[in-house]
Amino acid sequence: ADNGYELWLKYKHIQNPAVETRYRSQVNGIYFPSNTDRLLVARKELVRGLGGLLNIQPKFASIDQSSLIVGTIPQTGWAGRTIDASSIQTIGNEGYIIKTIKQNGKSVILIAGNTDTGVLYGTFAFLKLMQTGKSLDNLNIVDYPKTSYRVLDHWDNPDRSVERGYAGFSIWNWHKLPGYIDPRYIDYARANASVGINGSVLNNVNANVQMLSPFYLAKVKALADAFRPYGIRVYLAVKFSSPVELGGLKTADPLDTAVQRWWKSKADEIYRAIPDFGGFLVKANSEGQPGPQTYGRNHAEGANMLADAVAPHHGIVMWRAFVYDHKVPDDRAKQAYNEFTPLDGKFRPNVMVQVKNGPIDFQPREPFHPLFGALPNTPIMLEVQLTQEYLGFSTNLVYEAPLFKEVLNSDTYANGKGTTVSKILQGKYNPKLITGMAGVANIGTDLNWCGHPFAQANWYCFGRLAWNPDQTSAEIADDWLKMTFTNDQRFVGPVKQEMLQSRENTVNYMTPLGLHHIMSANGHYGPGPWTDNIGRADWTAVYYHKADTNGVGFDRTATGSNALGQYRPEVAKYYGDLATCPDEYLLWFHHLSWNYKMRSGKTLWDEMVHHYYEGADSVKHMQQVWNSVQPYVDPELHDEVKQLMAVQYAEAIRWRNSCVLYFQTFSRKPIPAVYPQPE
């Protein structure tokens, strides 16, 4: 039975005998010198992959006896002959070339990189070609990552609970570390390397200071050592008040020299044990966390102090822009922009400001964060959430690539039309800046890692998009489905369609038309549009939807909070003008009457009802499709997804009924008779 543990690295035996024979002849004799740990793990992966896919024990041979040549460019001896100088330059430190060349009149496949990391990534890419049934004839692939720091953020606590984790406990077994290296750590590293993820922040941004103690650092070092061959560096989330709480100092003021010295010596201590330690991630002055503002300093002063401590060791600081304070009476959506834009250009070059996709908080749909394009002189890192805090946890099937692509494709107009978030993240406008993307991990001790078999696709697509944000959701889903399930088009076709639609389904039954943050305050799972009076204005639903008998929606135009003013004029006009504002963002930016006439001709009320019903119905449709592909899926895996879909459908109905009935108390209008009436 398929329990999902092998993720997309199943290397299932190829069923088509013609394809298998052809592939076998193309890997008949492999030259793969492996004189580093990283090349060794690449070679091991190749053996494992070919063993599974082709049911062979690969034969290693001398270079002229081989039909597959793998190694660094100097090792393969082909630089300057069949590989041109410009490709070598293009692929940089992590890229690779996979190319069919002629050797003694015979076609040979060459996998080469400038570094052993490039070779590792090239090896995974080569295996993917076979996993997805592609031809290995006439290959000419030159690929390299478009961003440098591709990092998973684990919100894992030392007690192994995971904040917003829905897949069991933390996979870091702190008790057994450093002595015991769970094979799961290696499989985790393989999975990351297979999609180009090169960093792992091990602990929660709501950081426990103990992580910086010698006791834990020894364990962190053990993980760093285990991950290093896979090209993965470890990072730690740190609490700004560590010098006080851990170091016994009186203050954590970033301008205090004793505080600066404390961080420098802590950094030195870490780097003595972990020479390639990645650096720090910081949540400061947000949701009660301490930060530089606690001492009257700003974010740049706080970040730079830490940046100076890790700079001699080539480390970085990822400083989060997810800041807000319920005591600030202004629209929460505006707070990050207000705090960070005055600081543009003031951060050290090894600081990245980490910005969530939207200005509120990982909602099913948000417009892009106004900080994108507003910090031209600051390295900026997109933060997305793989764990489905606001997307139905691990019972809902939601493929998030379309959500990530929506922000990546958004046009900020910062340098005129076409200044997309994707291009900004790739450093196209300011090549001096370091680049990166972060994903809040959805990984835990569940056998299948992510809780829902399809949630693995969110881990997978994050890596793929961080590597190259311009890939499409569909091509990534296609690869993932083939690698995870089967190449059979009768399965891949319909299921891919459902994956691509799945995020919109959830938007429809949770927060259609720009509604947001109406989840239950208690956990963010179910509906809670009625949530009020829980101590913080910005954690209550009524703050966001502003429904009353006159209408619904958050007015963020000039007559309201004017959050729109934080975008470039072209964007502000587009969202601000009802004639152009897409329905998807309507109630995010506008407060409108229940009778407002929509593009469809329906009233706003009828349209809202329509979306809620459509959302729930689409889950039913997904169930039907899943039932229809049953012959192509392992029975236990099929049943697992089927059961989860039944839960999702029940949840979708609950969301639909709750929201429709709640908003009806304001609209005072009937639910159109074409729909079944909620009870």
**Binding site residues, ligand GCW, CB under 6 A:** 155, 163-164, 205-206, 283, 287, 322, 361-362, 389
Catalytic site includes residue 287: yes
Query: What does DSSP assign to residue 74?
Result: H
Is the CB of residue 645 less than 8 Å from the CB of residue 397? yes
Judged by DSSP in three states, 108 sits in: strand
Q: Which residues contact 475 (CB under 8 A, 6 or more apart)?
A: none
* Residue carrying structure tokens 């001398």: 62
163 vs 276 by CB, closer to ligand GCW: 163
> Which of 156, 366, 389, 555 is flagged as catalytic?
389
Q: Which residues contact 530 (CB under 8 A, 6 or more apart)?
A: 541, 542, 662
Q: How far is the CB of 362 from ligand GCW (least distance, A)?
A: 5
Closest of 43, 57, 61 to residue 103, by C-alpha: 61
Closest of 364, 356, 538 to residue 440, by C-alpha: 356
Task: Report the sign of the C-alpha dihedral through residues 414, 415, 420, 421, in that order.
Answer: negative
- Give whole-number Cα distances, 388 to 7, 24, 385, 427, 475, in Å: 18, 41, 7, 28, 22
Where does 88-207 show beta strands of DSSP type E? 96-103, 106-113, 140-143, 149-153, 199-201
d(CA 316, CA 378): 13
301 vs 366 by CB, closer to ligand GCW: 366
d(CA 239, CA 204): 10
Q: How far is the CB of 387 from ligand GCW (least distance, A)?
A: 9
501 vs 520 by CB, closer to ligand GCW: 520
d(CA 167, CA 455): 10
Q: How far is the CB of 204 from ligand GCW (least distance, A)?
A: 6
164 vs 334 by CB, closer to ligand GCW: 164
Q: How far is the CB of 131 from ligand GCW (least distance, A)?
A: 34
Q: Which residues contact 367 (CB under 8 A, 6 or more apart)?
A: 358, 359, 410, 575, 585, 588, 589
> What is the 3 state secondary structure string of 605-669?
HHHHHHHHHHHHHHHHHHHHHHHHCHHHCCHHHHHHHHHHHHHHHHHHHHHHHHHHHHHHHHHCC
> Which of 187, 225, 287, 617 is flagged as catalytic?
287
Is the CB of residue 660 less than 8 Å from the CB of residue 666? no
26 vs 203 by CB, closer to ligand GCW: 203
Q: Which two tokens stand for residue 616?
A: 């729930």
* Paired strand residues for 352: 318
> Which of 301, 361, 606, 651 is flagged as catalytic?
361
Q: How far is the CB of 440 from ligand GCW (least distance, A)?
A: 7
Catalytic site includes residue 389: yes
Closest of 56, 58, 110 to residue 82, by C-alpha: 110
112 vs 441 by CB, closer to ligand GCW: 441
289 vs 557 by CB, closer to ligand GCW: 289
- Give whole-number Cα distances, 574 to 180, 412, 567, 568, 585, in Å: 56, 11, 10, 10, 11
d(CA 632, CA 309): 54
166 vs 322 by CB, closer to ligand GCW: 322
Q: Which residues contact 151 (CB under 8 A, 6 or more apart)?
A: 197, 198, 199, 200, 201, 235, 278, 318, 436, 437, 438, 439, 466
Q: How far is the CB of 205 from ligand GCW (least distance, A)?
A: 5
Distance, first Cα to last Cα, the chain: 40
320 vs 611 by CB, closer to ligand GCW: 320
Q: How far is the CB of 24 from ligand GCW (least distance, A)?
A: 49
Q: How far is the CB of 283 from ligand GCW (least distance, A)?
A: 5
Nearest residue to ligand GCW, scored by beta-carbon proximity: 361
Q: How far is the CB of 30 from ligand GCW (least distance, A)?
A: 45
Which residues participate in catalysis according to the annotation?
287, 361, 389
